[in-house]
Structure 1
């Protein structure tokens, strides 16, 4: 039974005269969950589950609510009960996969979603969840293939487009990645994570000024992004805007105090600009994080030498690629985005569960 058939069956059941009290409560709970009233839905479903834990749609709906409200382990237990009772339901397998993705059980998610697709090859959300699972397992090519299939079946949301673009970027397909991410920005123009991702893709294509402006816009929206701050600093220094570059390098080290790269860049740039009083403690901090860094060891010795000038060898290699902005956007319930799996809130026939 495909999704269209399931919805038709559910509608027919809702209008049938023989509807049981249990089925009516399940339907009311589903209606509440679909408009975001998860607490109200849970209050209706829990007594039904306690009275009869063998109703698969009760287990399914209650499991989704638990997973969507942070009680994922409990939700997984209920979702597994549902698929055991009705292994022929593609929707159940997809939602089990979505819950697994929420707690990074990526292989279990992929296994579940493959069962969903075997039952319903046109399950749009299942293709997206397969893409997310493959991405989390490091299979970017497989993720791109799954996103391609999902895109052919329906419209991807901004978070999924961002994830697709990130996978394309990691594969070096930067123009394709940029086009996909810009589609995401058409839907979420003020999303700082998607803007940071676009900035990285532009930088990788040598579009430094546009990349710098994109990172600046992202940081205006959310200043505490490490990758955006670091890349904006590097691009500013590359453009000889030293004041801005230093300010955002300092900000990057405060956002992520354990980043050796940020501390190292800051130490070298401070020394290059003859800000030795600040450069020395920064270089010493870098050595505490990376004691074997011979270049910083030499820099510390020169800084402690007093009047000795810092030679030209202490420069930042601006030819290096900027770090990938792999952080992707989150969204509030009920619209699940990238990283947490996509729950299918459709319904199945529920009238015969009493």
Structure 2
């Protein structure tokens, strides 16, 4: 038996086990309907289930419950299926004495109860959201059974074969038992893979201890423990740990075969036409399976490119790569093959190679919309937004009926604040192909930027129904829920998006922001660190981490992170993230002057403020920055009020309060003695969401010195407000030195 203790907060809280008492092959025989050679016995309800399970992996998750419910939703629910790609089946638990139910196709958002079983078939993937804030991503050929252990016991997971990616934030006992893993930890991410003769666990975040009856080993982030049958576990450092979870990556589509791509002009084979029709309906695994009936004589390069594109859409990079190589071998000038390679390089964060491959694809076929779309992704990865926008506009000119090109155009129009153009492009995309998840996603983001929350949610939910493996609609739905003021529900959606594409720096930054809003600073710091690791050239997590550290009264560290963010953005002060689909307006209200002023660098703050306004005179936050920098400077009161007015005229909806004393050009109050200095709430909410806030500060001293400030601010849909009052009074330390100020 191999055990693994995950120790983050509580060292001995969890145990990971490999059980040698029942060999893996015996367990597989048991699930397939045959008698095992060990003490465990299982039966399948039908021959069909037996045949499917012979090649499937098995995961058994046991949860603590006082009672079981055989079929239908349970209270509280154990888990929910949040993503289905390919053939995923569900079997409801049947209590003793009742008839067992058969396997049925699982549906999105179905609730899982104790005793229920889920299994994935070949080239299928699934994601589950557990009730304890844990997300599970199941690879192909994996089976999951939920049952009930003894009352008040910890959750338990048995993995006999296959692969399972786990992201857990629970502080409650959470045990994962494979023939390997059993965990109880807050803030851990790891991968478990089990074969017939060995098992391994790779840790991406946190720590765990793997042990069995023959020994134990501590495993930290970036390491992997391997345990062969009848041997003690051993540890090794993994150079590229994320390579093991490539099956979890999401590759965006670049081909719109509904508009007569080259593959559709191939000889009219029924199987080929059937595959394309299945692809158009989003039934990707069936589209791949139907290609098995295409005759070998149709081995043209476009066929292999088409199949490789399908493999990527279901996360099978290992199967797509040989097809791409074969297409290039048959036709070294195949532009579409190089376009796919460019997209793969973008997803794997190899930006330089992606740009080279995309440039080559365009050079080989300047009329290919797919090549232009892949080039736009490579340019976006290099922060060349204007070039990417021009590239996609050319793709739309080349093929005005290409829904994917219009959807991509809408994305990039939003990144440049062209919201009306973005909405028009998104509507054009949905008009051309409303059954394409990508078009619904960009329509949702376009509506979200216009604060049309209900329309945005409808579009995101439809996109999820069309392609539940796409992380972007989950991210968008999370942002929409947060905008409505439902922070917890929104954060859960962003966690699902993270599990669907754990390699995406963008989503990690958003998840960190959500944790920051929930005052879970340790988890926020971890996610910002993960985002920095996945995309070292992205300034976004450095900016957010600086804001987090400033709120924790760590101005020196905040300044270092801020300088790194500036360095990564062409030495320009970063007021907002580079997120293309959300302007992140709340984060822009963070004033950089506060950090410099807290450190006593007043002159440096003033210089940086000048540079910011010169760089972008239309940015409200630059004028806010300069107004703050002027606050303690004598004889600059009129200039400060002028900058504040420009900032307020340009400021979008937000909850940041307007402090009454900032609008007063001549306060005559000694700096540092007022009730609240400017920037009181500069580092507030990172999300714009419906809420109200109350802030109060006061000061008292000798000579009847008394001051107070009260500000009430809030935001609700298209309305934001800020109401405040300011009072300061003192008799002074000599005659006729009294002062009264009320605003």
TM-score by length of 1: 0.63
Deviation at 1:6, TM superposition (A): 0.7
> Counterpart of 1:344?
none
The answer to whether residue 374 in structure 2 is matched with residue 35 in structure 1 is yes
Q: 1:323 to 1:15 in 2, by over 3 A?
A: farther
> Counterpart of 2:496?
149
The answer to whether residue 601 in structure 2 is matched with residue 241 in structure 1 is yes
Q: 1:144 to 1:195 in 2, by over 3 A?
A: same
Deviation at 1:214, TM superposition (A): 1.1
Separation in structure 2 between the aligned mates of residue 9 and residue 196 of structure 1, nearest angstrom:
43
Larger RCO, structure (CA 8 Å, separation 6 or more):
1
Kindly report which structure 2 residues correspond to 1:129-278, keeping only aligned pairs within 5 A, or say none: 129-222=476-569, 223-226=572-575, 231-251=591-611, 255=616, 261-271=624-634, 276=635
Deviation at 1:15, TM superposition (A): 7.4
Deviations along 1:129-173, one digit per CA (max 9) or x if unpaired, are 422443455543322111112233431411111122223223333
Q: Which moved further from structure 2: 60-69 or 173-182?
A: 60-69
Separation in structure 1 between the aligned mates of residue 545 and residue 505 of structure 2, nearest angstrom:
13
Structure showing greater Rg: 2
Q: Which runs of 5+ in 1 are unaligned?
A: 50-58, 87-91, 303-308, 328-354
Separation in structure 2 between the aligned mates of residue 252 and residue 204 of structure 1, nearest angstrom:
23
Separation in structure 1 between the aligned mates of residue 412 and residue 602 of structure 2, nearest angstrom:
46
> Counterpart of 1:300?
666
Separation in structure 2 between the aligned mates of residue 67 and residue 14 of structure 1, nearest angstrom:
36
Does the 8 Å contact 1:230/1:249 carry over to 2? no
Q: Which moved further from structure 2: 224-233 or 110-119?
A: 224-233
Give SS of 1:143's match: helix
Deviation at 1:9, TM superposition (A): 0.9
Separation in structure 1 between the aligned mates of residue 545 and residue 601 of structure 2, nearest angstrom:
21
Does the 8 Å contact 1:30/1:61 carry over to 2? no
Deviation at 1:219, TM superposition (A): 2.5
The answer to whether residue 359 in structure 2 is matched with residue 16 in structure 1 is no
Q: 1:15 to 1:171 in 2, by over 3 A?
A: same
The answer to whether residue 439 in structure 2 is matched with residue 98 in structure 1 is no
Q: 1:249 to 1:39 in 2, by over 3 A?
A: closer
Q: 1:172 to 1:63 in 2, by over 3 A?
A: same
Give the superposed CA RMSD.
4.4
TM-score by length of 2: 0.33
> Counterpart of 1:323?
683
Does the 8 Å contact 2:546/2:558 carry over to 1? yes
Deviation at 1:199, TM superposition (A): 0.4
Q: 1:137 to 1:36 in 2, by over 3 A?
A: farther
> Counterpart of 2:85?
2
Alignment partner of 1:77 out of 390, 405, 428? 428
Q: Which moved further from structure 2: 255-264 or 190-199?
A: 255-264
Give SS of 1:282's match: helix
Separation in structure 1 between the aligned mates of residue 499 and residue 531 of structure 2, nearest angstrom:
16
Separation in structure 2 between the aligned mates of residue 126 and residue 297 of structure 1, nearest angstrom:
42
Separation in structure 2 between the aligned mates of residue 173 and residue 154 of structure 1, nearest angstrom:
22
Deviation at 1:244, TM superposition (A): 2.2
> Counterpart of 1:346?
none
